[in-house]
Structure formats: C-alpha cells, structure tokens
Chain A
C-alpha cells in the first residue's frame, strides 16, 4: 500500500522569503508523485508532477520539487513567496493498475504568507 506524509501541518512565512513544504512517501513499487494546491473554497489544481526522468521538476507559479528516491521524499520549494501563494498544499502519489489510477493524498500543509 502507498502512503504520503506531509511533515508540517502549517507553515507561516514572510512575503518574499523562500519556503519548503516537506513530503515523504512510502511505496514498494515505482510511483508517480504530485503536488496540488487548493485555494479557499476551490477544488484542487495541479502544481507539478514527477513521472520519470529528471528528479528536479518545475511547475506553475514558480514552484519546483525534487524527487529523492533514496530518502523517499518529494519536497516542494519556492525561492520567493507572494501573498497569493496562501493556500493548502497537498502531496499525492498514484499507482496505475490495469489502466485505473487513484491518487493517495497527504494530510495537507497550510501555507500562510505574512506581509
């Protein structure tokens, strides 16, 4: 079975400061990894994904993440955050079985940007 652990439930940072949101996963097989963002009263939007290839993945809104197989981590980073980045962030893994896939999400990290 796969599982995802987001190590911080809340992360407060000041505007224009760097941020890292941590994610660890467990799986006995190769997985695909994702970060989603959820703004208040909205659904989930895909920030970035790791399927294969380069371990450094760049996404939308200036976010990037690094896949580390030995540490089973997929941490999300942004060098300089903006007030508009205030949202809930979810790390997820998926596995495809006979063409059907389901996403397994972490508990989420609430990112709060202070001016």
Chain B
C-alpha cells in the first residue's frame, strides 16, 4: 500500500499565476481533506471532499477550489496566487463510516513557493 501520495513535491510560481496540486488517497479511502501549513504554523483546514462534493470548508477565499474524481483522487486549485499562499499543502485521506471517527492519513505534502 503506497499510502497517500501527492504531486508535485515542490513547486515555484509567481504572483498572479494559477496552480494545481494533486492527491491520491490511501487504498480503500473515499474522503480527501486539504490543509495549508504556513512556515512555523500548524496546518489549517481548507476543505474536505466526499462523493465528488465539497462537504465542509474552512476559512479560505474562493481562489481556493477543489475537485474529487470518481477514483477518489483529488486536486486543489489556487488562482491569482499571492505571496502569502507560499506554504506546505497537505492532503489527508480517510474512509467515511457514518458519524464515527475516521482517522485521517496524511501525505508528504507539496511545498509551494510564490515569488
């Protein structure tokens, strides 16, 4: 089992550009969550996808959008990049089982640098 994988590992963009980050969940998982971790900070929840729909969203602007595909993989898109978007972007997957706790497994992250 490859676990949660993310691509690319590193990315450098300039202000105003758009970026797409990708995540493949752990085998058997159907839910994907995205987190932003700025340097020296704890991760912050961006949104969560299940059944190809956004189920819950954190306090992030509409420039941040996502998508989940039928194979449960997910993309995070950020438009009109700002310097402040520079961060490690973490993807976490889990298997939804009703209202019970579902452990989230994290990928290694994508380091985005905006110049």
Chain B nearest Cβ from A44, distance in angstroms: 4
Whether A45 touches B42, Cβ cut-off 8 Å, given contacts A32-B101, A99-B96, is no
Which chain B residue shows the least CB distance to A105?
A: B42
Contact of B90 among A4, A44, A101 (CB under 8 A): A44
Instruction: Check A102/B90 contact, CB under 8 A, given A43-B108, A43-B109.
Output: no
Determine whether A97 belongs to the interface, using a CB cutoff of 8 Å to chain B: yes
Distance in angstroms from B16 CB to nearest chain A CB is: 28
Interface-side segment among B43-51, B64-72, B76-84: B43-51
| Chain B residue nearest in CB terms to A97 | B56
Counting CB contacts under 8 A, is A29 at the interface? no
Partner of A45, one of B41, B106, B109: B106
State which residues 68-115 of B face A: CB under 8 Å.
Answer: 90, 92, 94, 96, 98-109
Interface centre among A36, A43, A44, A105 (most CB of B within 10 A): A43
Known contacts A102-B48, A103-B45, A108-B42: does B103 contact A46 (CB below 8 Å)? yes
Contact of B98 among A51, A90, A99 (CB under 8 A): A99
Does the CB pair B41–A107 fall under 8 Å?
yes
Flag if B106 contacts A44 (CB, 8 Å).
yes
Chain B residues near A51 (CB-CB < 8 A):
101
A60 an interface residue at 8 Å Cβ cutoff? no
Chain B 1-36 interface residues, beta-carbon cutoff 8 Å to A: 4, 33, 35
Q: In angstroms, how far is the closest chain A Cβ from the Cβ of B95?
A: 12
Q: Are A100 and B56 in contact (CB under 8 A)?
A: yes
Q: Are A101 and B102 within 8 A (Cβ)?
A: yes
Interface string of A43-55 (1 = CB under 8 A from B): 1111001010000
Chain A residues lying within 8 Å of B50, measured Cβ to Cβ, are 99-100
Minimum distance in angstroms from A5 CB to a CB of chain B: 11
Point out residues on A near B: beta carbons under 8 Å: 4, 32, 36, 41-46, 49, 51, 90, 92, 94, 96-108
Q: What are 14 A-B contacts defined by CB distance under 8 Å?
A: A32-B101, A44-B92, A49-B101, A90-B42, A90-B43, A99-B50, A100-B48, A100-B56, A103-B45, A103-B92, A105-B44, A107-B40, A107-B41, A108-B41
